[in-house]
Amino acid sequence: MSNEGHCLCGRVSFRADGEPLWVAHCHCESYRRTTASPMTTYAGFRPTAVVWQGDVPTAYNSSPGVTRHFCGKCGTPLSFESERFPDEVHLFVANLNDPNTLAPQCHVFTEERISWMHLSDGLPEYSKTSQDEPKR
């Protein structure tokens, strides 16, 4: 399976080969600020599965041990990498050519969820990561 996507202007594109390690809706504040939305959906892939094409994404070290990549032309956020998850690259599912191919498996960082964001999809909810006990 190959998951292909690109930024808004198309100057940066990517391919992530194989099945993702996981797919999750994230409610943490830093992702909300990165995307200017109440939550975002990420898929985790091994770094060796991700191939960047076109322009090289611009890197931003948003906090110690965290690198975010975005298109230097249009500003589209593209990925998240952290020393906390050294064998993962988190890609925004919404940037895929067909985001319907990767369905979310859970909600993470729900302790930071905006109060008016009501969840009713029946997916497991975790206070922080899926390593925690589910809230429901």
pLDDT at residue 99, rounded to an integer? 96
Residue 7 near residue 14 (C-beta atoms within 8 A):
no
Q: What percent of the chain has pLDDT over 70?
A: 95
Residue 128 near residue 111 (C-beta atoms within 8 A):
yes
First to last CA, the chain: 31
Number of neighbouring beta carbons within 10 Å of residue 12 = 25
Domains and CATH numbers, the chain: 2-112 (2.170.150.70)
Q: What percent of the chain has pLDDT over 90?
A: 86
DSSP state of 136: -
DSSP state of 65: T
The two three-digit tokens of residue 122, written as one number: 């029946």
The two three-digit tokens of residue 13, written as one number: 């594109």
Q: Give how far Cα 39 sits from Cα of 20, 27, 77, 113, 115, Å.
A: 19, 5, 14, 8, 12
Per-residue pLDDT of the chain (136 residues; tens, 9 = 90+): 779 999 999 999 999 999 999 999 999 998 899 899 999 999 999 999 999 999 999 999 999 999 999 999 999 999 999 998 999 999 999 999 999 999 999 999 999 999 999 999 999 999 988 765 656 5
Comparing C-alpha atoms, which of 23, 46, 27, 31 is closest to residue 77? 31
Comparing C-alpha atoms, which of 61, 22, 60 is closest to residue 42? 22
Q: pLDDT tens for residues 43-54?
A: 999 999 999 999
What residues are paired with 24 via a beta bridge?
A: 42, 106
